[in-house]
Structure 1
């Protein structure tokens, strides 16, 4: 069985290292401080809805990686975030099901940002979006 807390700690460290190693002054908003703020608020929401450990992990992973792609690309940062998350999960030996759910969450974020009517279906992970 996966140790979600331990994996989240590795994930947090990984994202922080990426931000520190690729720090750009041009990213006034999409930076580590913003990401940590999103994570704190995600924890509050996830706790309110009493998510399972797996669902909690998925939404926290999505929060950590939601803007990390900006460090490498301003045009398709969601896709780069998915790629970086995939590499991390693969290196940790985490299976495809969690990866697919995480990717869908990141792309739903992107779709909602660009459209009032999302073209991708919402992913049900224990609560409504």
Structure 2
């Protein structure tokens, strides 16, 4: 498996072909999830072969946005199946990558440890210091894709989402849960 080459390939494709209105679900997000997945995996004791599959899934998990927002996880798996063989991935490895990708479909429902890690990595920003910057990017994207009409409506959606969200891994809980709860308090005072 040539992970870095496979990652560079899909990141380049996203940078060059993704519609401009995806202010959040873009190459920066893929790299962000890759970095968070690596950090959480280290905390969870994941290494070697499993880490390789996880990090590949992180690179590819939202590449389906190249085809649009609807069912983007399935489209991400289509990309993985199309492009990963040229980077030395077997069909079994690709199906494992797709299984990890599909864990990120909302509502998140991972059925193994690698799925839990990618779910936590995908929403790592909820508890980070750059939450409000990334939240603003996501809002500007949703104004176009979901016809979101106001920041107040967005704040209400975020409060509902943050209330219902939970991290799966002990590492993410330790690193991000407190920050996420602080962000929830700040948004709640605004509405």
Same fold (TM over 0.5): yes
Larger radius of gyration: 2
1:91 equivalent in structure 2 = 86
Q: CA offset at residue 124 of structure 1?
A: 4.8
Q: Matches of 2:88 and 2:59 in 1, distance apart?
A: 19
Q: CA offset at residue 82 of structure 1?
A: 0.5
Q: CA offset at residue 85 of structure 1?
A: 0.9
Moved more, 49-58 or 35-44: 49-58
Gap runs ≥5 in structure 1: none
The correspondence of residues 66-81 of structure 1 with structure 2, limited to 5 A, is 66-81=61-76
Q: CA offset at residue 48 of structure 1?
A: 1.7
SS of 2:103's partner is helix
The correspondence of residues 19-38 of structure 1 with structure 2, limited to 5 A, is 19-38=14-33
For normalisation by structure 1, the TM-score amounts to 0.79
Q: CA offset at residue 43 of structure 1?
A: 0.7
Alignment of 1:9 onto 2:4: yes
Deviations along 1:8-47, one digit per CA (max 9) or x if unpaired, are 1111211121112213221011011111111111110112
1:47 alignment partner, one of 42, 50, 55: 42
CA contact (8 A) 1:8 1:61 kept: yes
- Cα RMSD for the two superposed structures: 2.1
Q: Matches of 1:17 and 1:9 in 2, distance apart?
A: 12
Q: Matches of 2:45 and 2:107 in 1, distance apart?
A: 29
CA contact (8 A) 1:46 1:56 kept: yes
Higher helix proportion (structure 1 or 2): 2
Q: Matches of 1:97 and 1:124 in 2, distance apart?
A: 18
- State the number of aligned residues: 117
SS of 2:104's partner is helix
Q: Matches of 2:36 and 2:59 in 1, distance apart?
A: 12
